[in-house]
């Protein structure tokens, strides 16, 4: 039997999370099914995103999910061509906030933002930070910490994967204290990304083939439907 593939990701419910010592989530189930079809054993480890990215760069892990594609990461990661999971990036504020958003981040330049270290929020927001339209954001290491800081008034606007933030708010019982601004910042595809140092391009290609087959035979949608209430077509 082949040696287990070392996969890394972060605690990011409802996509992937640990509960009672077991790794769960609808992306986890999709990944498990894909590698089951490839007859490739896997080991999934959840850890801070910064460390996960570094392990792919160093080649101490084989692959990472659910990763947005950035030019910097493409230097050390071979991305799947098939989208693993479409994601939506949204802005959140406290319920009593007067902040409005019309899709133009320039108009929010004088507000403070909270982000998770080394997480990409898509090229629209990332470029706004790079071009200093968004001033140096308040950095945390988990989505939970980011929510806690928003609730404590440490910054004005939280940027997050929409469903990740809603899941945390629901679990904390604070849905009534936070509002999502409309419109969304960006709809972004996320991928499985393999460490270039592990020379896994052939496995990446086979993973693409299986993932595409799962989408065509309906098993991909069935897994998502059974695990979540996420509308992938939004």
65 in a domain, yes or no?
Answer: yes
* pLDDT value at 28 more than 90: yes
113 and 172 in one domain?
A: yes
Distance (Å, whole) CA 53 – CA 77: 9
Q: How does pLDDT run across 142-163, given as a tens digit for each residue?
A: 889 999 999 999 999 999 988 8
Q: Give pLDDT, residue 2.
A: 76
For residue 197, CA distances in Å to 14, 55, 119, 152, 177 come to 30, 10, 22, 42, 45
The token duo for 79 is 């991305």
Distance (Å, whole) CA 20 – CA 43: 17
Q: Across all residues in the chain, what is the average pLDDT?
A: 92
234 in a domain, yes or no?
Answer: no
DSSP per-residue codes, 45-92: EE--HHHHHHHHHHTSSSEEEEE---HHHHTTEEE-SS-SEEEEEEEE
* pLDDT more than 70, % of the chain: 96
pTM: 0.72
Label residue 227 by pLDDT band (50, 70, 90): low
105 and 74 in one domain?
A: no
Label residue 225 by pLDDT band (50, 70, 90): confident
56 in a domain, yes or no?
Answer: yes
11 and 59 in one domain?
A: yes
User: Count of domains in the chain?
Assistant: 2
Q: Give pLDDT, residue 234.
A: 35
Q: b/e for 140-160, b at 16 or more Cβ within 10 A? A: bbbbeebbbbbeeeebbbbbb
Domain of 215? 5-85+189-227
232 in a domain, yes or no?
Answer: no
180 and 195 in one domain?
A: no
93 and 182 in one domain?
A: yes
Q: Which of the two residues, 14 and 228, has the higher pLDDT score?
A: 14
Q: Give pLDDT, residue 1.
A: 66
176 and 95 in one domain?
A: yes
Max CA distance (Å), the chain = 59
115 in a domain, yes or no?
Answer: yes
DSSP state of 18: E
Q: What is the CATH number of the domain that holds 102?
A: 3.40.190.10
* pLDDT value at 232 more than 70: no
158 in a domain, yes or no?
Answer: yes
206 and 148 in one domain?
A: no
Q: Give pLDDT, residue 135.
A: 83
For residue 133, CA distances in Å to 83, 98, 136 come to 29, 20, 9
Q: How does pLDDT run across 94-132, given as a tens digit for each residue?
A: 999 999 999 999 999 999 999 998 888 989 999 999 999
């Amino acid at each position: 039997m082949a040696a287990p593939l070392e996969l890394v990701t972060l605690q990011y419910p409802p996509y992937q999370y640990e509960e009672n010592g077991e790794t769960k989530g609808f992306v986890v189930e999709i990944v498990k099914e894909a590698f089951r079809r490839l007859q490739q054993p896997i080991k999934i480890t959840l850890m801070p995103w910064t460390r996960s990215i570094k392990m792919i760069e160093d080649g101490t892990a084989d692959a990472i999910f659910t990763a947005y594609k950035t030019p910097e990461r493409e230097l050390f990661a071979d991305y799947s061509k098939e989208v693993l999971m479409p994601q939506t990036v949204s802005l959140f504020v406290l319920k009593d906030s007067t902040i409005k958003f019309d899709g133009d981040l320039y108009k929010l330049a004088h507000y403070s933002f909270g982000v998770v270290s080394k997480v990409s929020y898509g090229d629209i927001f990332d470029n706004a930070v790079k071009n200093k339209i968004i001033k140096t954001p308040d950095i945390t290491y988990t989505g939970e910490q980011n929510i806690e800081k928003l609730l404590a008034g440490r910054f004005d606007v939280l940027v997050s994967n929409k469903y990740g933030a809603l899941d945390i708010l629901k679990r904390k019982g604070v849905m009534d204290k936070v509002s999502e601004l409309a419109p969304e910042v960006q709809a972004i595809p996320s991928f499985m990304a393999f460490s270039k140092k592990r020379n896994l391009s052939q496995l990446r290609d086979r993973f693409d083939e299986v993932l595409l087959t799962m989408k065509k035979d309906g098993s991909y949608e069935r897994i998502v439907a059974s695990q979540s209430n996420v509308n992938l077509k939004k």
